[in-house]
Amino acid sequence: MSCSSETPPPTLRTVAISYYELKDRDADLSLKIEEGFGPNGLGILSITDVPDFPSLRRNLLCLSDRLAALPEDVKKELEDPQSRYNFGWSHGKEQLESGKPDLLKGSFYANPLLDVPTNDASLIQRYASYCGANIWPQVALPELEVAFKALGKLIFDVGLLVAYHCDRYVSKGMKMQKDEGLEQILLRSRCHKGRLLYYFPAQLSNHEENVEYMSSWCGWHTDHGSLTGLTYGMFKRNGVEISCPDSAAGLYIRTRSGEIVKAIFGEDEIAYQIGETTEILSQGYLCATPHCVRAAKGKAASGIDRSTFALFMQPDWDEKLNFPEDVHIHKELIPPNGSLTFGEYSEMLLDKYYHKKP
């Protein structure tokens, strides 16, 4: 999407909820949940004042450039083609928008809660992107496992509190059994996946090729899981942390009305975005929104890298999804009976964005 000759999109602050409000299970946060996640919201809100989050964020994000700089043969050992590179190291394996390999960033995937989700060989073969085992650089970068698990577990625990309040909001509009709520679905899942992202430093000559496109760092997409926890990005030049050099860089969201806005949240806040599966199961009371990430541009951005972390909280592979009649996302994937397990649904989506299974 070109935006060079257009008026810059408006910038909106995410709806913010204090952690101390969030952990009060008697608090009625329905208005804020609706404002952030409801049909007229941006599909995102942020949690402030989370204890230990700033240090855990820094501990992990500071390792991303070291991970990316490991020798190629070491990184090759961290790859997992069987999972379609959804465990361990991935670079140039994903296809977005243009159909070309995404070479701008490298990713490291792991389940921060379970190193081995299952030992069932048939499940591992069928749902390799969820059921496989974590791959850690235990010799080359042993501190990665500790930092990854610590941040992932914190974002998960806070996410469960967000899910609890989402359930309270949704239950006002639709009948819902206790075990059908988002909180319980996430609690019983073995599918959660963390992703440490490292955006390689771009030299000016290479960087200018992409500056016309709003989605130059990460293409337009809608998360297909339940709830995504997201950190504020860390920017470095030559290993030294700096502020983002371009105020136009960052997260952009397409609203339900089609308007594009830039969403901002604080460095010490955890942002949460609704995924498609939650929209389906909540029958539209909670809404997922397409979003992208725009790269920093200009001479000031040359030589700058960016690191961030996302935790994709999602149902178990055998969780049954009952699709409502009115579904506007991936209609071509939904069978006539309107029902798929999350594992089946996810494999179909992965076929769209990654190479087919080897």
Q: What is the pLDDT of residues 57-77, one digit of tens each?
A: 999 999 999 999 999 999 999
Beta carbons of 105 and 67 less than 8 angstroms apart: no
pLDDT at 26: 97
Task: Provide mean pLDDT across the span 212-225.
Answer: 68
pLDDT at 172: 93
DSSP state of 231: P
pLDDT at 206: 46
Q: Which residue has the tokens 């988002």?
A: 182
Residue 212 has pLDDT above 50, yes or no: no
Residue 355 has pLDDT above 70, yes or no: no
Q: How confident is the model at residue 217 (pLDDT cuts 50, 70, 90)?
A: low
pLDDT at 358: 45
Residue 104 has pLDDT above 90, yes or no: no
Top-confidence residue, 332 or 30:
30
Q: How confident is the model at residue 18 (pLDDT cuts 50, 70, 90)?
A: very high
Domain ranges (residues) in the chain: 11-355
Residue 52 has pLDDT above 90, yes or no: yes
Beta carbons of 281 and 332 less than 8 angstroms apart: no
pLDDT at 135: 98
Helix extents (H) in the chain: 19-22, 30-37, 53-61, 64-68, 72-77, 121-126, 128-131, 143-170, 182-187, 204-207, 276-281, 342-353
- The mean predicted confidence, pLDDT, of the chain is 88
The CATH code of domain 11-355 reads: 2.60.120.330
pLDDT at 5: 41
Mean pLDDT is lowest, of 7-21, 200-214, 254-268, 272-286, for 200-214
Q: How confident is the model at residue 96 (pLDDT cuts 50, 70, 90)?
A: low
Q: How confident is the model at residue 95 (pLDDT cuts 50, 70, 90)?
A: low
Task: Provide mean pLDDT across the span 186-213.
Answer: 76
- Under DSSP, is residue 262 helix (H, G, I), strand (E, B) or coil? strand
Beta carbons of 45 and 272 less than 8 angstroms apart: yes
Top-confidence residue, 293 or 5:
293
Host H or E run for residue 304: strand 304-313
Residue 133, both tokens: 């085992």
